[in-house]
Amino acid sequence: MPLFGFIGRLVLEKGAEFLAGIIDTWLSHHRNANFIILGTGDKSIEHSLQSVAHKHASNVACMLAYNEAMSHKIYAGADFLLMPSRVEPCGLNQMFAMRYGTLPIVRSTGGLRDSVRDISEPGGVGIRFDHMSFDDMMHAVWRAFELYQHPDYKNKCVKEAMALDYSWDASAQKYKDIYQSMH
């Protein structure tokens, strides 16, 4: 079964209020995926996630804490990382995830749009959705589940994601190339 992870602040800016509903709806109909949540934030979001973790105890783990070591284990062990952010000027989690071989599921905003190419495009390494809505997020999870059913293609995406270079050296080289092209 695929493992979907979320690592971050449990707040509206991160789209976290949708997580419990997405998880509960998916598991109430399918029961063929696992979910792991790591983070703290809005108490009502925390409560809804604890409730869904209790309801679906065999498929959901919820750790309401900040834990750097655990975040690395989730990046390394998950198949997909959920990042349904409303705003994300840069975003690092999707880059960490890809480096570990976890494919990001992101809303097309800011740095998420800039750094995650959708699997429907050449060189795609993640899943993007446009609208901050339950239906769009559920469709993105469905697309990830479908990708998981095609391991050869999923592994190709994972290898491409792991090979991406978001280092300062790569950024500096791009800047240098643009600068030199102007002369």
- Number of CB atoms found within 10 A of residue 162's CB: 13
Q: What is the pLDDT of residues 39-74, one digit of tens each?
A: 999 999 999 999 999 999 999 999 999 999 999 999
Tell whether the model's pLDDT for residue 97 goes beyond 80.
yes
Q: How far apart are CA 165 and CA 29, in angstroms?
A: 38
Architecture of domain 3-181: 3-Layer(aba) Sandwich (3.40)
Q: What is the pLDDT of residues 137-155, one digit of tens each?
A: 999 999 999 999 999 999 9
With beta carbons less than 8 A apart as the criterion, state whether 95 and 71 touch.
Answer: no
Tell whether the model's pLDDT for residue 159 goes beyond 80.
yes
Tell whether the model's pLDDT for residue 170 goes beyond 80.
no
| Residue 70, C-beta contacts closer than 8 angstroms, at least 6 positions apart | 38, 63
Question: pTM for the whole thing?
Answer: 0.92
What pLDDT does residue 36 have? Answer: 98
Q: What is the pLDDT of residues 74-91, one digit of tens each?
A: 999 999 999 999 999 888
